[in-house]
Amino acid sequence: MRILAMDTATSACSVALSIDGAIVSHRLIEMVRGQAEALAPMIADVLEEADIDASELDLLAVTVGPGAFTGLRIGLATARAMALATDVPCLGISTTEVIAQAVPELTWPDGSLLVALDSKRSDIYVQLFSKPGQGVGEPQAIEPENLSQWLGAVSGPIGIVGDAGPVALAALVEKEIDVSPVDAPGVPDARALAAVAARRWKIGDPAPTPSPLYLRPPDAKLPRDGGKLRP
């Protein structure tokens, strides 16, 4: 199965092509801005390196959030456009699951894994995983000081990964919860996204049009009076 995976949801831009479970081409650049300009050339490079046309793909995979509003729109718009142009199904995967997937088996914590992502605001995006691919509940936007209450009666040690990991770690250490950082990438990688997609989807399965996973309203506000100038 040929899967083209792409991510622009956080502070990186990555593309990977997986064929029958093996990554044959991959690009990843960490960037706060610029994904809109970087993504299309990266896709073209990956396909050219593998000598594959987009119409020959079996599946497109894209992260749907949580993440940055602009980044999510870039990835989703590109994936949807490619799906329409090539008649290739498109599957959406949460950013938190992709990051959890990238944690090596040998470093997976004995207890639970907490994925914590920077929201660029006072809260952080979090999701708990009991094992790879097994999320506990849905991703949430939580203020760090409320994190221990949100975790409730989770037993055993908790490993933390993600670009907001230090914030979550400090908040939970203060509450004397057994936590430790996990040595794994803090941003999504399209290689892990392709692995999740391959596990979740088989040729012939339906693939609903992916939609963004927004956990809070955007910062931008509509102007008063619809933007009309006052007399």
The answer, yes or no, to whether residue 121 has pLDDT greater than 50, is yes
Residues 14 and 121 in one domain: no
Q: Are residues 91 and 21 part of one domain?
A: yes
- On whether both 6 and 85 belong to a single domain, the answer is yes
C-alpha distance across the termini of the chain, in Å: 62
Crossing angle of helices 69-86 and 35-50, in 10° steps, is 40
Instruction: Say yes or no: 78 and 110 in one domain.
Output: no
Backbone torsions φ then ψ of 55, nearest 5 degrees: -70, -15
> pLDDT of 184-220, one tens digit each?
999 999 999 999 999 999 999 988 899 999 986 555 4
Same-domain pairing of 81 and 194: yes
Domain that holds residue 39: 2-95+187-200
Query: Does residue 35 share a domain with residue 15?
Result: yes
According to DSSP, the residues that pair with 160 across neighbouring strands are 114, 181
Same domain, 85 and 159: no
pLDDT tens digit string along 137-155?
899 999 999 999 999 888 7
Question: In which element (H, E) is residue 79 found?
Answer: helix 69-86
Residue 131 belongs to a domain: yes
| Residue-level length of the chain | 231
Total domains, the chain: 2
Specify if 219 maps to a domain: no
Residue with tokens 């203060």: 174
* pLDDT exceeds cutoff 50 at 222: no
Q: What local confidence, expressed as pLDDT, does residue 133 receive? A: 81
pTM of the model: 0.91
